[in-house]
């Protein structure tokens, strides 16, 4: 069964219709850039210097305070939305695989952005950046994007988010919204990578996926744990007590991600992989107040 | 210790595959996971020590081998020799007589006895056997010798309460027969001790007593009987006796009612340990159910009420055909049960159910029905008339006949009688020295016949008290058993009853049942017989003999029973709820018992305990 079929496209169209305000609102980012320019939305004043355009002098202010102040307006630009899609082997885990939902969510959000005349780019990564879908604009590009996503395999070894984002932020590109779709199973921790995005004035949003078998594993007894990313095995004896401890650690990790995002004002969506992507998108919209 | 099934030890060979599986290295199941970063945090906190890892597996093997050993040993059914040598045979005699229904020990003494019995049963050892005997009303074996606890407990519930007398002594005899000459035989008696011979029983070496109940006062009706009045055909006499089996004087009332209508209320004041007794005369032709009850609340209810049955006395139609005879007419008129019709000539037919008295009549053929011929004037189809007998002297009387009850004719002056020669068999009730009948009865298909050959106009027979008695007896004989009183029985008694004619004529269709007073389970009666022995009666009240219930109806409807029998406790021993004191030495402490189950049971229990421990330690990975 193909990942993106006609039914998927219909759902994308429906989602784009109900989410006109998503990227303009508070869910993903502000469309306004930090650059000042010839927009119509007032930003602030600065002192007049010779050579400035008289049309932007605030005469009302001059009448009150007898000082020449120039009105500055916010420059309106296209929003650049970057999708950082984790395609490490851990993402292929689960029933259904987390990678399937990750690609569907990426495609859906990209379609909504394209429909809103924003620019999108997809960066697939594992231990490093493994594939790129270049910055593009217009709904017509959606099929190319879908093809790109469909042909993308789960690959690489251990996830290294810091290395990936380091490579990403050093590219010569405009700042914008950076949506990280991943399980964030990075042995070195997820914070460093996301910190880099913040520090480079990107606006990160985290979509963290997990499988129910990861949250509540049904393992007991003497078994050999096989790490699908590193292809390493470890013989362990799992007891009830171990299981309770695992669930506690996993829960704490999820909470840590949520707390990190909340502390830095980042959007954060955590979901199990068996949720339909449309429901997940609608849930994100409801959280943003984009739909009722 | 010996084994009943030593072949089971061969199953110990199962240890070989267990050890083989232990030695063989088992490949662990490989489980793919998306990441091990969380597991790493758990297992790197505390590395398991390799020596303990080794030991814990060895311990697991030992536990498994021990589990197998216990099961194999259990299958071998081990036993100790002393189990067989010391096995006991017990018989539990439970008193379920009326006094055991006393409520001085709540809920009742019998329930307390059952509780003690359950305790005895629970203390039986594996090879012990116990039988249960009910020791009230009719001693019987409730459950034969068995060591199965559930069977015994179920049988124990079958020991039901009765209102019958105590028969513990007979129960103990029955128990001893069950024990035979068993070396460890014991009789355990659970009783309130309200019976004679209790002390002797308690001293017997093979009997252990378990007393129940407390010393409690009680007031009860110990006698309640009714009989016909000797003076008044419609009257009856009631004999009542009330006993105060307590340590304090009591005041109460004895109320008598007939079918719900109060007949009499007698205030009673009885000293401790005394009895009050009285006979009262009452009159009733309608009959009914006579009930006595005392309004005194005490621990035993069964003796606070007593019943007696008064049958209805239907009037008897008597047709007297006579030349005027004042004595004969008056003696019949004086009987209140007689509806007298005096005729001078023979009627066309005898009234149905009535009695025809022919005085100095001579029909060639006696009419069908009940006929009493006095001083026959001629011969008929039953006899031939001979010469007159001058001054006959009665020398022979059938004293056993109801017709001659309280009648003495041997000193009566009878100047003239008629000599009769019967054509068929006749029963001579009174005869002369020359064997000539003076008074005789004849049974014929058309009806009973009496003949008195004495000339009433001569002699002093009409002037004697024997004459009205003779006439009353004759009318009673013609009436048959109808209207006769049936005495109230004491519980535990058996009696013979005459069943209705339908029981013999209709065969199985006329089958009857004996219904207890509370409408409980009826007892079937033999069909096709005229008389049956019923009892023993184990409940107080009015028992009924009636056809089987139809349509789910339980007790027979009022009026429907063919025969009714009143049954009262009427037993001083049962009403006296003060058991004889027995010494502490006679009282038996609860029988100590251990090893109440076979050894294999404990082995299996231990094996399962071990399995549970292994599961907890290893399957739940408490040891890791």
Distance from CA of B35 to the nearest CA of A (A): 5
Closest CA to B575 of B305, B303, B306: B303
Residues of B in contact with A219 (CB under 8 A): 31
Cα B547 to Cα B22, B92, B362, B508, distances in angstroms: 77, 38, 47, 11
The burial class, CB within 10 Å (0-12 / 13-18 / 19+), for B511 is middle
Question: Which CATH number is B361's domain given?
Answer: 3.40.50.880
Measure CB to CB from residue A228 to each of B34, B37, B38 and give the nearest one. B34
Q: Can you give the pLDDT at residue A215?
A: 92
Largest CA distance in chain B: 143
| Cβ contact A224–B29 (<8 Å) | yes
Specify the pairing of strand B185-191 against strand B89-94: parallel
Give me the residues paired with residue B91 across strands: B131, B187
Q: Which residues of B touch A90 (CB under 8 A)?
A: 34-35
Q: Domain check: are B321 and B470 in the same one?
A: yes
Best residue in B21, B27, B29, B37 to probe A by mutation, most A CBs within 10 Å?
B37
Confidence of residue A217 (pLDDT cuts 50, 70, 90): very high
* Chain B touched by A221 (CB under 8 Å): yes
Contacts of B611 (CB under 8 A, 6+ apart): B67
**Cβ contact, residue pair B31, A223, below 8 Å:** yes
From the list B305, B294, B302, B274, the residue with the least C-alpha distance to B102 is: B302
Tell me: do B47 and B103 sit in the same domain: no
Distance from CA of A233 to the nearest CA of B (A): 8
Q: What is the SS3 assignment for B210-263?
A: EECCCCCCEEEEEEEEEEECCCCCCEEEEEEEEEEECCCCEEEEEEEEECCEEE
Residue B624's pLDDT band, with cuts at 50, 70 and 90, is very low
Better pLDDT: B311 or B157: B157
d(CA B429, CA B438): 8
Q: Residue B132: which CATH number?
A: 3.40.50.410
Strands B370-374 and B447-452: parallel
SS3 (DSSP) at B396: strand
Q: What is the mean pLDDT of residues A72-89?
A: 82
Give me the pLDDT at residue A75, please. Answer: 60
User: Hey, which bits of B470-562 come out as E strands?
Assistant: 489-490, 495-498, 513-515, 523-524, 531-534, 541-546
Cβ-defined contact of A93 to B622 (cutoff 8 Å): no
ipTM over 0.90: no
Q: Are A102 and A85 in contact (CB under 8 A)?
A: yes
Q: DSSP letters along A229-269, please?
A: TTTEEEEEEE-HHHHHHHHHHHHHHHHHHHHHHHHTT-EEE
In chain B, % of residues over pLDDT 70: 90
Q: Tell me which residue in A94, A98, A225 faces B36 most closely, judged by beta carbons.
A: A225
Upstream peptide bond of B67 is cis (omega within 30 degrees of 0): no
A244 in contact with B, Cβ within 8 Å: no
pLDDT at residue A290, rounded to an integer: 53
Find the domain containing B158 and state its range: 84-216+578-597
Which of B285, B313, B341 is the last residue in one of the domains?
B313
Q: Are residues B358 and B472 in the same domain?
A: yes
Other Cβ atoms closer than 10 A to A33:
18
pLDDT tens per residue, range B263-309? 899 999 999 989 999 998 887 777 888 999 999 888 899 999 999 98
Give the per-residue pLDDT at A32.
44
State residue B506's pLDDT score: 63
CA B309, B315, B321, B326 dihedral sign is positive
CA distance A79 to chain B (A): 35
Q: Same domain for B388 and B410? A: yes
DSSP strands (E only) in B28-98: 29-33, 78-79, 89-94
Mean pLDDT of the residues in chain B: 84
Reported as a single tens digit per residue, the pLDDT across B23-64 is: 776 678 889 999 988 988 888 765 555 566 667 778 888 888
Domain boundary among the residues B313, B334, B351 is at B313
- List pLDDT tens digits, range A88-131: 999 999 889 999 999 999 999 898 888 877 889 999 999 999 99
Among B62, B77, B92, residue at a domain's last position: B77
How many Å apart are CA B238 and CA B96, to the nearest integer? 30
Residue whose pair of structure tokens reads 């189809």 in the numeric block: B381
State pLDDT tens for residues B374-391.
999 888 888 888 888 888
Cα distance from A120 to chain B (closest Cα, Å)?
29
E strand map for chain A: 32-37, 41-47, 69-76, 80-86, 119-125, 129-137, 177-182, 203-210, 221-227, 232-238, 267-272
Q: Is the per-residue pLDDT at A31 higher than 60?
A: no
CA distances from B63 to B11, B66, B70, B143 (A): 17, 5, 11, 44
Residue B432 and residue B397 in one domain: yes
In a domain, B20, yes or no: yes
Distance of alpha carbon B23 from the chain centroid: 74
Q: Which is more confidently placed, A191 or B555?
A: A191
In B, which residues are within 8 Å of A250 by CB distance? Answer: 38
A241 touches chain B (CB under 8 A): yes
Output the pLDDT for position A33. Answer: 46
* CATH code (residue B237): 2.60.40.10
Domain-located, residue B494? no
- For chain A, give the number of residues: 292
Say if CB B488 and CB B567 are below 8 A apart. yes
Nearby residues of B53 by Cβ (< 8 Å), 6 or more positions away: none
CB A217 to CB B621 under 8 A? no
Same domain for B259 and B301? yes
Per CB-CB distance under 8 Å, the chain A contacts of B624 are 237, 239, 241-242
The arithmetic mean of pLDDT across residues B595-614, rounded, is: 85
Q: Is the peptide bond before B265 cis (omega within 30 degrees of 0)?
A: no
Name the least confident of A25-34, A188-197, B118-127, B345-354.
Answer: A25-34
Nearest CA in chain B to A232: B36
So what's the pLDDT on residue A156? 86
Is residue B169 in a domain? yes
> What is the CATH architecture assignment of A6-30+78-288?
3-Layer(aba) Sandwich (3.40)
Residues B415, B440 share a domain: yes
Mean pLDDT of the region B435-463: 89
Closest partner CB to A185 (pick from B29, B35, B42): B35
Give the residue-averaged pLDDT of B384-407.
Answer: 87
- Asked whether the beta carbons of residue A211 and residue B34 sit closer than 8 angstroms, the reply is yes
Q: For B182-206, what is each residue's pLDDT tens digit? A: 888 889 999 988 888 888 888 888 8
Whether residue B444 sits in one domain with residue B320 = yes
Digit-coded pLDDT (tens) for B412-425: 888 888 888 888 88
A188 in reach of chain B (CB within 8 A): no
List, as own/partner pairs, every contact residues B398-401 make where C-beta atoms lie below 8 angstroms and the sequence separation is at least 24, other chains included: B398/B427, B398/B428, B398/B429, B398/B430, B401/B427, B401/B429, B401/B441
Which residue in chain A has the smallest CA separation from B44?
A236
Q: By the CB < 8 Å criterion, does A94 face chain B? A: yes
A240 and B48 within 8 Å at the Cβ level: the answer is no
Q: Examine the domain organization and report whether B321 and B454 are in the same domain.
A: yes
Q: Which residue ranges make up each domain of chain A?
A: 6-30+78-288, 32-76
CA distance B85 to B87: 6
Q: Which residues of A touch B43 (CB under 8 A)?
A: 234, 236, 242
For residue A25, what pLDDT is reported? 41
| Cis peptide preceding B389, ω within 30 of 0 | no
Size of interface A-B (CB pairs under 8 A): 87
Q: Picking from A60-64, B73-77, B504-508, B598-602, which range would have the lowest pLDDT averaged per residue?
A: B504-508
Out of B26, B36, B42, closest to residue A227 by CB:
B36
CA angle, B181 then B183 then B189, to 5°: 80
Tell whether B414 is covered by a domain: yes
Q: Do A211 and B29 touch (CB under 8 A)?
A: no
Reading the block at residue B119, the tokens are 């305790």
Q: Could you tell me which residue, A160 or A282, shows the higher pLDDT?
A: A160
Question: Are the C-beta atoms of B596 and B152 separated by less than 8 Å?
Answer: no
Mutation choice for B interface testing from A224, A251, A252 by most B CBs within 10 A: A224
Q: CA-CA distance, B211 to B192, in Å (whole number)?
A: 5
Show which residues on chain B lie within 8 Å of chain A, measured between beta carbons. 26, 28-39, 41-43, 48, 620-622, 624
Which DSSP letter does residue B618 get? I
B138 and B96 fall within a common domain: yes
**R_g of chain A computed on alpha carbons:** 23
Helices (H), B466-571: 466-479, 502-505
User: What distance in Å separates residue B606's CA from the closest CA in chain A?
Assistant: 26
What is the domain count for chain B? 4
Would you say B167 and B179 are in contact if contact means Cβ atoms under 8 Å apart? no
Distance of alpha carbon B419 from alpha carbon B453, whole angstroms: 7
Q: Are residues B93 and B70 in the same domain?
A: no
pLDDT digits (tens, 9 = 90+) for A152-195: 999 988 889 999 999 999 988 888 889 999 999 998 999 999 99
Q: Is B593 helix (H, G, I), strand (E, B) or coil?
A: coil
- B620: chain A residues, CB-CB within 8 Å: 239-240
Q: Answer whether residue B298 is part of any domain.
A: yes
Contact A245 B42 (CB under 8 A): yes
Chain B within 8 Å of A234 (Cβ-Cβ)? yes
B169, two tokens:
């002594």
pTM of the shown model: 0.54
- Of B56-60, B144-148, B437-441, give the lowest mean pLDDT range: B56-60
Residues of A with Cβ-Cβ distance to B28 under 8 angstroms = 222-224, 235
- Would you call B620 and A226 a contact, using CB atoms and an 8 Å cutoff? no
Contact call for A249 and B36, based on CB within 8 A: no
B333 with B463, same domain: the answer is yes
């Amino acid at each position: 069964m193909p990942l993106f079929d006609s039914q998927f496209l219909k759902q994308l169209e429906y989602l784009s219709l109900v989410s006109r305000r998503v990227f303009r609102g508070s869910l993903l980012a502000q469309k306004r850039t930090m650059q000042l320019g010839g927009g119509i939305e007032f930003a602030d004043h600065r002192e007049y210097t010779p050579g400035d355009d008289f049309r932007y002098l605030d005469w009302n202010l001059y009448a009150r305070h007898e000082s020449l102040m120039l009105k500055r307006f916010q420059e309106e630009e296209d929003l650049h939305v970057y999708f950082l899609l984790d395609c490490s082997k851990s993402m292929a885990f689960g029933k259904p695989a987390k990678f399937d939902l990750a690609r569907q969510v990426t495609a859906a959000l990209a379609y909504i952005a394209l429909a809103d005349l924003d620019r999108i780019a997809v960066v697939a990564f594992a231990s490093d950046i493994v594939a790129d879908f270049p910055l593009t604009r217009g709904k017509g590009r959606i099929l190319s994007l879908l093809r790109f996503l469909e042909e993308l395999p789960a690959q690489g070894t251990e996830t290294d988010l810091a290395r990936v984002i380091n490579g990403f932020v050093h590219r010569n590109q405009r700042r914008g919204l950076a949506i990280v779709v991943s399980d964030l199973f990075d042995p070195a921790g997820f914070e460093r990578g996301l910190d880099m995005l913040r520090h480079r004035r990107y606006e990160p949003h985290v979509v963290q996926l997990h499988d129910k078998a990861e949250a509540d594993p049904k393992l007991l007894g003497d078994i050999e744990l096989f790490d699908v990313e590193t292809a390493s095995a470890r013989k362990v004896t799992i007891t009830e007590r171990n299981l309770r401890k695992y669930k506690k650690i996993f829960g704490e990790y999820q909470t840590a991600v949520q707390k990190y995002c909340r502390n830095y004002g980042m959007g954060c969506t955590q979901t199990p992989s068996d949720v339909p992507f449309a429901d997940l998108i609608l849930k994100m919209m409801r959280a943003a107040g984009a739909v009722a | 210790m010996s084994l009943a099934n030593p072949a089971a030890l061969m199953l110990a060979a199962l240890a070989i595959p267990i050890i083989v599986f232990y030695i063989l290295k088992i490949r662990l199941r490989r489980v793919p996971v998306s990441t091990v970063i969380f597991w790493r945090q758990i297992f790197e906190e505390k590395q398991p020590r390799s020596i303990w890892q080794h030991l814990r597996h060895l311990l697991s093997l030992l536990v498994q081998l021990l589990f197998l050993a216990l099961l194999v040993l259990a299958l071998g059914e081990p036993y100790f020799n002393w189990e067989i040598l010391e096995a006991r045979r017990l018989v539990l005699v439970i008193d379920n007589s009326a006094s055991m229904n006393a409520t001085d020990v709540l809920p009742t003494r019998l329930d307390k006895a059952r509780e003690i019995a359950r305790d005895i049963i629970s203390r039986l050892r594996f090879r012990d056997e116990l039988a249960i005997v009910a020791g009230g009303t009719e001693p019987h074996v409730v459950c034969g010798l068995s060591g199965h606890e559930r069977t015994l407990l179920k049988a124990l519930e079958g020991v039901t309460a009765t209102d019958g007398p105590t028969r513990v002594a007979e129960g103990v005899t029955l128990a001893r027969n069950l024990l035979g000459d068993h070396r460890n035989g014991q009789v355990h008696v659970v009783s309130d001790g309200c019976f004679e011979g209790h002390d002797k029983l308690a001293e017997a070496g093979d009997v252990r007593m378990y007393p129940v109940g407390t010393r409690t006062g009680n007031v009860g009706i110990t006698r309640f009987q009714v009989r016909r009045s000797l003076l008044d055909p419609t009257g009856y006499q009631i004999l009542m006796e009330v006993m105060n089996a307590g340590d304090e004087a009591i005041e109460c009332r004895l109320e008598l009612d007939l079918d719900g209508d109060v007949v009499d209320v007698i205030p009673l004041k009885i000293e401790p340990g005394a009895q009050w007794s009285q006979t009262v005369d009452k009159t009733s032709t309608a009959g009914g159910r006579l009930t006595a009850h005392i309004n005194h609340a005490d621990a035993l209810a069964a003796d606070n009420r007593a019943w007696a049955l008064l049958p209805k006395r239907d009037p008897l139609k008597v047709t007297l055909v006579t030349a005027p005879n004042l004595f004969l007419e008056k003696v019949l008129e004086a009987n209140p049960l007689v509806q007298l019709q005096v005729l001078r000539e023979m009627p066309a037919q005898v009234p149905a159910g009535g009695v025809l008295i022919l005085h100095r009549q001579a029909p060639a053929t006696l009419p069908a029905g009940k006929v009493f011929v006095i001083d026959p004037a001629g011969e008929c189809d039953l006899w031939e008339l001979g010469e007159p007998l001058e001054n006959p002297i009665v020398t022979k009387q059938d004293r056993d006949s109801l017709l001659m009850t309280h009648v003495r004719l041997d000193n009566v002056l009878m100047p003239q009688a008629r000599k009769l020669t019967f054509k068929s068999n006749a029963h001579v009730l009174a005869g002369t020295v020359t064997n000539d009948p003076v008074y005789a009865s004849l049974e014929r298909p058309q009806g009973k016949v009496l003949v008195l050959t004495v000339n009433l106009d001569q002699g002093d027979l009409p002037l004697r008290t024997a004459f009205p008695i003779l006439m009353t007896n004759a009318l009673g004989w013609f009436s048959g058993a109808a209207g006769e009183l049936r005495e109230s029985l004491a519980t535990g008694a058996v009696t013979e009853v005459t069943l209705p004619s339908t029981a013999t004529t209709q065969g199985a269709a006329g089958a009857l049942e004996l219904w207890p007073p509370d409408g409980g389970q009826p007892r079937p009666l033999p069909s096709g017989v005229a008389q049956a022995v019923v009892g023993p009666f184990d409940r107080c009240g009015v028992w009924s003999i009636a056809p089987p219930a139809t349509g789910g109806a339980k007790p027979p409807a009022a009026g429907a029973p063919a025969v009714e029998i009143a049954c009262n406790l009427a037993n001083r021993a049962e009403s006296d709820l003060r058991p004889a004191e027995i010494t502490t030495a006679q009282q038996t402490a609860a029988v100590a018992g251990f090893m109440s189950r076979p050894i294999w049971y404990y082995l299996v229990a231990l094996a399962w305990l071990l399995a549970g421990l292994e599961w907890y330690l290893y399957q739940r990975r408490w040891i890791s």
